[in-house]
Amino acid sequence: MTKRTEFELFTKLSIGQYMPTDSIIHRIDPRIKLVLGILLICAAVGLGSVLSAVLLLIAVVFGLLLTRVQLRLAFTALRPVAIFLIILALIQVFAVPRLGAEDEAIWQWRFLRVTHESITAGVLLILRFVVIVLGLSLFSFCTTTTELTHGIEHILRPLQRIGFPAHELALTVNIAVRFIPILMGEAEWLMKAQASRGADFGYGTRRGFFRRIKRLFPLFIPLFAQSLKHAYSLSEAMEARCYVGGRGRTHFIRLRAKAGDYIALLAGISVICTAAMIYFFHMDQLIWSMWKTLIRGGIH
């Protein structure tokens, strides 16, 4: 591997990549993948029960297995943050009891107290994070950006009747996605241009704070101005080609959900509903207490 210079910005971009394995998951309608992805994130954030988080985790891992992408790839995103995650979870374990002090302590040493509630909070923190990261990798492995924009537009299309600009919003997302590499190249080009004029970007040791900020300005301001220029020339070009927005527009690609897509939707929603039911009806406490009586029964 060649050594990276400070000018190469592209390598820093490590968003989840598309993996063209053409599995069952790849062929699911992008609308359904989008809906399920959003529901998954909401469920992972909103449901405060360990059992439902485990259920979601199992579902996501099952989905990853179905994509036939190496499971290792999905987990690599977790590696750099694993230590932080464990530290944060430990903080939760020791800090939560002070917020809700009624719970009985399992273990106590001076001011350190561990309760059921605090362990739950710590475990939940890790599980939530893992579920969301794996869910996002699953989505990015099997959805191209084109599919994503089509999906957004098709989902929002019913709202167009009440005046919601679905097509416009999808176009905005599309423009943003297309412009990221362009602006990235622009930034790199500007850095090289300024460096060739003898600019030093203040990577050195501490000097004056304002001086350092001043040094970054010749880079920063042209980047903003260039992107504004790009935006205005693009809008002029679109106008010159008689672009008139989404009303009355027909599409080259039409998304039609097939039976398999509905099955996938049903499966996803049933998993999320089960997880929600576990949380709202406190089924995990039931299972937990059953587990406790089982253990006690074993001891006595």
Partner 1 sequence: MVNVENTYKRRNTLMSTNIRKIVIAGVMGALSVVLSVTPLGFFPMPTGVSLTTMHIPVILGAVLEGPVVGVVIGFIFGIFSLLRAAIAPQGPADVWFVNPLVSVLPRLFIGITAWLAYRATRRIHEIPALIIAGIVGSLTNTVLVLGVLGLLRKLPWAGIFGIAAINGLPEAGLSAVVTFVIIASWKKIETRRKGSSI
Interface residues with partner 1 (CB under 8 A) are: 9, 12-16, 41-42, 45, 77, 80-81, 84-85, 87-88, 99, 125, 128-129, 132-133, 136-137, 140, 168-169, 171-180, 182-184, 187, 202, 206, 209, 212-213, 216-217, 219-225, 227-228, 230-232, 234-235, 238-239, 242-245, 247-248
C-beta of 228 vs 263, nearer to partner 1: 228
Q: Would you say the C-alpha torsion 196, 201, 204, 209 has a positive or negative sign?
A: positive
Return the number of the residue (40 or 261) whose C-beta is nearest partner 1: 40
The angle subtended at Cα 81 by Cα 77 and Cα 83, nearest 5°, is 140
Q: How far is CA 98 from CA 92, 93, 101, 298, in A?
A: 10, 10, 5, 33
Q: How far is the CB of 147 from partner 1 (least distance, A)?
A: 17
- Smallest gap from Cβ 281 to partner 1, in A, equals 24
Taking the complex as a whole, the smallest distance from the CB of residue 257 to partner 1 amounts, in Å, to 25
For residue 294, the minimal CB distance to partner 1 (Å) is: 34
Angle between helices 50-66 and 259-280 (to 10 degrees): 160
d(CA 60, CA 75): 12
Distance of CA 85 to the CA centre of its chain: 17
Contact (CB, 8 A) for 61 and 74: no
Q: Which is nearer to partner 1, 177 or 193 (CB)?
A: 177
Shortest reach from residue 178's CB to partner 1, in Å: 8
Q: Do the beta carbons of residue 131 and residue 60 sit within 8 Å?
A: yes
Tokens encoding 244 = 């008139």
Q: Residue 116 or 212: which CB sits closer to partner 1?
A: 212
Q: DSSP character for 69? A: S
| Nearer to partner 1 (CB atom), residue 98 or residue 292 | 98
